[in-house]
């Protein structure tokens, strides 16, 4: 295998600290795989200094390499500041879907007894985000307007990837938009879901309106689910799904752009949480999601060593929690570095054992 390059985007506060922990796990001495890390500083300070030029450079680098690993970054609230780097990255790599998967975390009590994994396949662009907004009138006669758009290509990418992902997970495609109220706008995603179902008859399919989806999730505890969603619906839904499993720390967030056949072209992984400024510098933040983000990238490298390393990292991370090595947010007393140390130890052991047992 030719050495794969991964664009590593530095972040802010605890986001940067946890990125460094994930990179410790991806070290060649740990996973036995040489990776070329190309670093770009996306800290708020450097984004301001470069007027976001560094964000554009990172996006172009991801288009060349196909892989990105991003730390959490600060999005300033001031209107004329540099804004969110994620919006720029999604647009420039033509990102279409964001995947977040809620899964059981050993020793953490889930809400409503949820235990089978649930993946939300969210539209990454369009819809309520970036919509044109304005107001007309005065006083109680003032009216606010917003013009939202979605496009057929993005709807098809969400629907097609949802069914492919469900096939891999042995899951059911579940839920959907409020197409009864909005047959033209939200109905576009429902049309693509129906067509994707026809292309993948082996995948179980149970469309539901978005409000029913929320309600039924509290009762659908026994089988894995994949939920395609509009951008704003998916944003809210994925936060709820991750909390159903007790913590947002147990999942990675993956942004994907596709080629003309809807195969992944650029993959960017990150943790779904923010920069947690209250935890900065205390060595107590949970690195689990960021470690899993690094592992998720390896699954898209078509090489057996990369796939084995990814599996080892996933297993080691979950096993560490199962054995009681937990940070404070999961009810434990391990520091950030202690948790990562245990994951590294387990990954090295697994890969050595698996190599020894090859051929048995």
Distance CA 244, CA 121 (A): 17
Strands 205-207, 172-175: pairing kind: parallel
> Quick one: tokens of 146?
């917003």
Does 107 score more than 90 pLDDT? no
- Kindly report, residue by residue over 126-145, the tens digit of the pLDDT: 999 889 999 999 999 999 99
pLDDT band at 231, cuts 50/70/90? very high
**143-163 pLDDT, tens per residue?**
999 999 999 999 999 999 999
Residue pLDDT, tens place only, 293-346 = 999 999 999 899 999 999 999 999 999 999 999 999 999 999 999 999 999 999
pLDDT band, residue 1 (cuts 50/70/90): low
Distance in angstroms between the alpha carbons of the first and the last residue of the chain: 24
Domain that holds residue 124: 110-245
If asked whether residues 229 and 264 sit together in one domain, one would say no
How far apart CA 227 and CA 213 sit, in angstroms, is 9
Could you give the percent of the chain with pLDDT greater than 70? Answer: 98
For residue 219, pLDDT over 80 is answered with no
Residues 347-358, mean pLDDT to the nearest whole number: 92
- Domain match, 323 and 342 both: yes
Are 138 and 241 in the same domain? yes
Q: Number of structural domains, the chain?
A: 2
Distance set, CA 229 to CA 100, 284, 293 (Å) = 12, 34, 21
Q: Which of 192, 227, 245 is the last residue of a domain?
A: 245
- CATH number of the domain where residue 54 is located: 3.40.718.10
Last residue of one domain, picked from the residues 245, 280, 303: 245
Closest CA to 179 of 165, 164, 194: 194
* Residues of the chain above pLDDT 90, percent: 87
pLDDT at 347: 98
pLDDT digits (tens, 9 = 90+) for 5-51: 999 999 999 999 999 999 999 999 999 999 999 999 999 999 999 99
**Do residues 172 and 132 both lie within one domain?**
yes
d(CA 225, CA 217): 9
User: Of 127, 109, 125, which is closest to residue 245 (Cα–Cα)?
Assistant: 109
Instruction: Indicate whether 154 and 236 sit together in one domain.
Output: yes
**How does residue 221 score in pLDDT terms, banded at 50, 70 and 90?**
low
Regarding whether 148 and 25 lie in a shared domain, the answer is no
Quick one: 130 and 234 in the same domain? Answer: yes
Q: Cβ distance 262 to 156 under 8 Å?
A: yes
Confidence of residue 359 (pLDDT cuts 50, 70, 90): low
pLDDT of residue 250: 84
Question: Is the same domain home to 95 and 133?
Answer: no
CB-side exposure of 122: number of CA atoms within 13 Å? 27
For residues 241 and 309, membership in a common domain is answered with: no
Spatial distance between the Cα atoms of 267 and 247, rounded to a whole number of angstroms: 24
Separation CA 140–CA 293 (nearest Å): 48
Of 192, 219, 245, the residue that ends a domain is 245
Q: Residue 243 in 3-state DSSP?
A: helix
Q: Is the pLDDT of residue 203 over 60?
A: yes
Angle value at C-alpha 121, between 116 and 127, nearest 5 degrees: 145
Cα–Cα distance, 166 to 263 (Å, whole number): 15
Residues 157 and 180 in one domain: yes
Tell me: do 225 and 141 sit in the same domain.
yes
């Amino acid at each position: 295998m030719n050495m794969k390059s991964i664009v590593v985007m530095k972040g802010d506060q605890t986001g940067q600290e946890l990125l460094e922990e994930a990179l410790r796990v991806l070290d060649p001495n740990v996973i036995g795989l040489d990776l070329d890390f190309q670093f770009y500083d996306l800290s708020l300070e450097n984004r301001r200094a470069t007027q976001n030029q560094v964000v554009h450079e990172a996006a172009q680098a991801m288009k060349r390499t196909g892989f990105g690993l991003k730390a959490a970054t600060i999005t300033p609230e001031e209107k004329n500041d540099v804004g969110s780097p994620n919006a720029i990255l999604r647009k420039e790599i033509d990102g279409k879907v964001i995947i977040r998967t809620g899964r059981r975390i050993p020793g953490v009590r889930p809400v409503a007894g949820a235990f089978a994994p649930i993946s939300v396949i969210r539209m990454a662009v369009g819809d309520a985000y970036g919509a044109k907004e304005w107001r007309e009138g005065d006083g109680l006669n003032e009216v606010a307007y917003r013009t939202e758009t979605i496009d057929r290509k993005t709807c098809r990418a969400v629907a097609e990837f949802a069914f492919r992902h469900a096939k891999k997970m042995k899951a059911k495609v579940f839920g959907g938009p409020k197409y009864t109220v909005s047959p033209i706008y939200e109905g576009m995603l429902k049309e693509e879901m129906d067509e994707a179902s026809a292309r993948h008859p082996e995948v179980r399919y149970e469309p539901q309106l978005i409000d029913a989806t929320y309600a039924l999730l509290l009762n659908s505890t026994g089988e894995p689910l994949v939920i395609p969603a509009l951008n704003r619906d998916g944003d809210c839904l994925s936060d709820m799904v991750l909390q159903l499993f007790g913590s947002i720390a147990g999942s990675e967030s993956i942004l994907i752009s596709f080629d003309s056949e809807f195969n992944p072209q650029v993959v960017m992984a990150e943790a779904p949480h923010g920069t947690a400024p209250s935890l900065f510098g205390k060595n107590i933040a949970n690195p689990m999601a960021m470690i899993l983000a690094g592992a998720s990238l390896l699954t898209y490298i078509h090489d057996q060593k990369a796939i084995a390393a990814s599996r080892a990292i996933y297993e080691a991370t979950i096993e560490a929690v199962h054995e009681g090595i937990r940070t404070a947010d999961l009810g434990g007393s391990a520091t950030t570095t202690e948790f990562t140390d245990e994951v590294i130890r387990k990954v090295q052991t697994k890969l050595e054992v698996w190599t020894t047992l090859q051929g048995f």
